[in-house]
Structure 1
């Protein structure tokens, strides 16, 4: 069952759902980009993902990485695949031309990332943080550091890492102990231990650039005292820096990715941004990473859909209800109602997620290059609101849908004979790293909805209501009532939070899922409207019509359960120790 890039739906989203070419024409930085060029980029990315990465997915999982004398050897074929990736110019896709990049929209990079993660998540972990590191250095590093290290990231000659977690400090960055001592020449000696560092050591690129959170000698306690430092694997004099890989994690999934324990022993590094301003610099990279992690969830959902669909078309079991007995005494299982429902959910959720992910990337493009400051600010606010929803909801769906797809296979799905068991294992980690899904939910509700006086959620509701108005009158499209529900829930949450400070934390997870369902309703309402541009006889039009109806009939009722859960969170939770 070979993985295939979902090019038809990707192009539908760009051409009809986003009308990206019309938006690009209004942005001088992208005025030369059109749908033909976008199609060429997607087709080449699909060729690389299908022919180079996908064949290494299973073998890379079985072989894993090896640590020998402090050096990591990645699975067979991974270094050659990276060389092909670099030769194809993929690291430079969405980077600025003046820095050696191709200057293409981030939405095309989002499509590329979906393909990379969908075809081979383990391999894509090495490249996944690169664009975020590029943005971090481009925004915060001094001119000297930019000149020295940005060209390597853009060309792919070097790969970066993000070094936050320590053995005693996971999500709570205020507990970090790594230190950075000034050496008197503008550089620092960085010491400490970092854990769970993806790509911390490998054989894909010669140099590795570690972006490390540490404390300067005059740092205040807590997260506000952290600084960000760039620590390369190799010093300028050609000597190895004092960065050591002490171990590799043996993981449930993404086994082709080297997840390292790193030890810094006075390694030479340079400050990125302002002293004690590490979080501001790091979050530029973290926000990019969180969108990419959401795309991992989408990639897994798409892979699970393809695997379940192909298996259901060929596997025969019993006669489907209401059908005459087949010549072989059994029907393909896709004809059975239970399997039809699962398969439709896999397709509908995957395609809805794709539209929303590309929509968020498109807002980031506008935030970066729009001519008017007001337009950039509005786009940045919307993108910031969407990011935690995409990270948390998409990764949860990636795992949930992989589990449902495995059910289509029955007992065979639980064996290594079929790829779905690896998809299920690989998908689970995305709910944990780059800020757990619980932290994303808190970020959404506490900071992005309640913390800004309602500005962000008002902008989002305005977008949804604008679509509800132009989609009104189409049978079964209930987007207007969804907007009313979301607005009413936000008002109740704000009121309850005034009297009970813990309440938003109890309600945050369900509130995020409610927002995700409302956004899916928006995605499918817009899809229904966009279908009018397709020929009546087009198979895609018929499929999308079926999917739209399935969403509003079968999946939108999730909203009622999520509203009830948000309201139920008004009841206090007992403490576990008191319940024994």
Structure 2
């Protein structure tokens, strides 16, 4: 497994220079303590914890995995101790509301810590990571008693949380859900059913696990309009907040998976388990979206984490591995061959990884900052930020995980045959990264959400809000020295609007056309979105170089990586233009009986 070195300089560049976070947070009531000095200190401490405590566990977690027995699930060696240290250091409470024991820092800081910890060991970070969504859901939809009983322990990390949606007959189509909730005389509900693929659903790291469960009331209408949301703790909670007897929730098995072996992915049986309704009856899916949106941003961070870790491993290897000579003459004349980093194709792979990792970091940190504006900004600013999040969350989740997986594969390719064997740890990154494109809604589901609800469903309003932001940036930097980035960005932004209209026209003629072009449309949207953030970083870097401020070599690398992105990755949009408008006939005309083995 590659040695993880937290990219502190790049994180601070995005937070302090690109996003001007101190300036933003000084204008948001409740976030005034988020000064540059404090944020830098948090980043430094998070980096040390990730490098020194979590990174050594990554390979152990993959090799050992979790162990199931009828009583409990045992996590890999070192996991429980690392979690205790994480809790003792106050990391779970970093971005939580002080009213419930949180430290009240912006969501952005929580996302940064998730990136640092997740790049070090993604399987481990899923245990505390899912608790954030449970906290948000209870805080937003729970009653006074539920908040008092569950939030403080969830915020502190004493307890962890899960989301329990999926059943064997229903994944993304939750309208097929069968789990039942029977009202009881004391106001609770008896929850009966089986949930599968429940990450961190059972483990030995925390005293209690609070499951957020979707189920149907006896008189519920069919489909998604008949789903309610419930709190179902692993152990019942006494009136004084202490943990009581075990609830009727049992882990029937843990999945044998392709990757993230250190995280227990559980089959959970609810056998009349005691649960409590959150929010209104039959409105559970609406409440669950509080959890889902948090989880989707968190999953996007997984794509960033695996791109970063694979890049780090590939870069180290490319500098050390000797093979062949440079096409322009020996670069290591005293050695038997040149390091492979001199070869153009290896540079192509490394720069692809670097461009995706650093571009995704700027994108996702921006998205997290918008969440902070939604939480604390003025009504007008919060509405703008909320619209941006609505549009960009499906793009972030799907695009960043897709290119993160591509980057993980490129890491194996840089190693050649050595990348395919377990000794180096590069193949683990690929296995761990693969799930990110599946859970919290597959790429196809995110694409349908983007096209159907966010773009066509709003008449293009959300998209035009974001393109107006891009247009304003381009107008502000309409100078010759920035033209190589600003001009193509202007062209692609206009084209994005035009393609959206064309796809909308095709969808009106045949709804299948929208589905046929949705993923290609989303990927196109992702490349243009990343182009915007690369333009912002490149322009800022050019300004720093011109002013002779800071580490010139750092800024030069930014400009060169931006140039690579614009000249070698952004042109992928050309083929996506063609395929997104190719229509559904070439997919749907083939009769089902012609699909045969």
Shorter-chain TM range is: over 0.9
8 Å Cα contact 2:64/2:262 also seen in 1: yes
Contact 2:512 2:584 in 1 (8 A): no
Query: What is aligned with 2:561?
Result: 547
Q: Which residue of 2 aligns with 1:292?
A: 298
Provide the rounded CA distance (Å) in 1 between the counterparts of 2:346 and 2:87: 41
Contact (CA 8 Å) 1:228, 1:278: kept in 2 or not?
yes
In 2: Cα distance, 1:511 partner to 1:548 partner: 22
Match of 2:353 in 1: 346
Partner in structure 2 of residue 174 of structure 1: 175
The answer on whether the counterparts of 1:70 and 1:246 sit within 8 Å (CA) in structure 2 is no
Distance 2:440 2:510 in 1: 29
Rounded Cα–Cα distance in structure 2 between residues aligned with 1:9 and 1:378? 27
Alignment partners' CA distance in 1, 2:448 and 2:115: 26
What is the CA-CA distance between 1:470 and the residue it aligns to? 2.2
Q: Distance in 1 between matches of 2:107 and 2:362?
A: 14
Paired position in structure 1 for 2:241: none
Q: For residue 411 of structure 1, report the CA deviation from its aligned partner.
A: 0.3
For the pair 1:260 / 2:266, whether they are aligned, the reply is yes
CA distance in 2, matches of 1:27, 1:400: 37
Please point out which of 308, 329, 351 is paired with 1:302.
308
* SS of the residue 2:269 aligns to: strand
1:579 alignment partner in structure 2:
594
Q: CA deviation at 1:120?
A: 0.4
Q: For 1:181-260, what aligned pairs fall within 5 Å after superposition?
A: 181-237=182-238, 238-260=244-266
For 1:286-330, what per-residue CA distance to the aligned partner results, in whole angstroms no more than 9, with x for missing partners? Answer: 000000000000000000100000000000001011023722231
Corresponding position: 1:469 with 2:475: yes
Q: Secondary structure at the match of 1:462?
A: helix
- SS in structure 2 of the partner of residue 246 of structure 1: strand
- 1:60 matched to 2:65? The reply is no
Moved more, 473-482 or 334-343: 473-482
Q: Which residue of 2 aligns with 1:5?
A: 6
Contact 2:135 2:155 in 1 (8 A): yes
Q: Is the 8 A contact 2:25 2:32 kept in 1?
A: yes
2:467, 2:493 within 8 Å by CA — same for their partners in 1? Answer: yes
* Matching residue of 1:363: 370
Matched, 1:558 2:558: no
Alpha-carbon distance, 1:471 to partner: 2.8
Which has the higher mean CA deviation after the structures are superposed, 537-546 or 8-17? 537-546
Residue ranges of structure 1 left out of the alignment (5+ in a row): none
The aligned counterpart of 1:483 is 493
Other-structure match for 2:430: 424
Residue of structure 2 equivalent to 1:150: 151
Partner of residue 277, structure 1 = 283
SS in 2 for 1:103: coil
Structure 1 residue 25: deviation in Å? 1.3
Q: How far apart, in 1, do the equivalents of 2:497 and 2:270 lie?
A: 49
Q: Does the 8 Å CA contact 2:198/2:268 hold for their aligned counterparts? A: yes
Q: What is the CA-CA distance between 1:236 and the residue it aligns to?
A: 2.9
Q: Distance in 2 between matches of 1:85 and 1:150?
A: 18
Q: Secondary structure of 2:56's match?
A: helix
Counterpart contact for 1:496–1:570, Cα < 8 Å: no
Judge conservation of contact 2:130–2:162 (CA < 8 Å) in 1. yes
Matched, 1:568 2:575: no
Deviation of the 1:487 alpha carbon? 1.1
In 1, are the aligned partners of 2:255 and 2:266 still within 8 Å (CA)? yes
Deviation for aligned residue 1:570: 5.5
Say whether the 8 Å CA contact 1:72–1:202 is kept in structure 2: yes
What is the SS of the residue equivalent to 1:52?
helix
Cα distance, 1:576 vs structure 2: 5.7
**1:518-557 correspondence runs (5 A):** 518-531=528-541, 532-533=543-544, 535=548, 538-557=552-571
Structure 1 SS opposite 2:422: coil
Counterpart-to-counterpart distance in 2, 1:568 and 1:471 = 35
Residues 471, 526 of structure 1: 8 Å contact kept: no
1:120 is matched with 121
In structure 2, list runs of 5 or more residues that go unmatched: 239-243
**CA deviation string 1:474-527 (max 9, x = no partner):** 141121111111111111112221111111111100000000010111011111
The corresponding residue for 1:33 is: 34
Q: Distance in 2 between matches of 1:152 and 1:447?
A: 36
Contact in 2 for aligned 1:467/1:525 (Cα 8 Å): no
SS at 1:29 equivalent: coil
Cα distance, 1:575 vs. partner?
3.9
Match in the other structure for 1:502: 512
Q: Is the 8 A contact 2:191 2:271 kept in 1?
A: yes
- Alpha-carbon offset, residue 434 of structure 1: 0.8
Corresponding residue SS for 1:30 = coil
Does structure 2 retain, via aligned residues, the 8 Å contact 1:135–1:285? yes
Which deviations, in whole Å up to 9, do the C-alpha atoms of 1:186-222 show, x marking residues without a partner?
1111110010101111000010001110001111111
Superposition TM-score, scaled by structure 1 size: 0.98
Mapped to 2, the partners of 1:65 and 1:282 lie a distance apart of 28
Residue from 431, 447, 452 that aligns with 2:453: 447
After TM superposition, the runs of 4+ consecutive aligned structure 1 residues lying more than 2 A away are 470-473, 533-537, 569-572
Corresponding residue of 1:14: 15
Q: Secondary structure at the match of 1:193?
A: strand
C-alpha displacement of 1:154: 0.6
Instruction: Report which stretch shifted further, 64-73 or 567-576.
Output: 567-576
CA positional deviation for 1:178: 0.5
- Separation (CA, whole Å) in 1 of partners of 2:409 and 2:313: 12
Is residue 330–residue 338 contact of structure 2 (8 Å, CA) maintained in 1? no
1:121 is displaced (CA, Å) by 0.9
Q: Is the 8 A contact 2:93 2:101 kept in 1?
A: yes
1:533 deviation in Å?
Answer: 3.1
Structure 2 distance, partners of 1:170, 1:373, is 36
Tell me the C-alpha RMSD between the 2 structures.
1.2
State the match for 1:337 in structure 2.
344
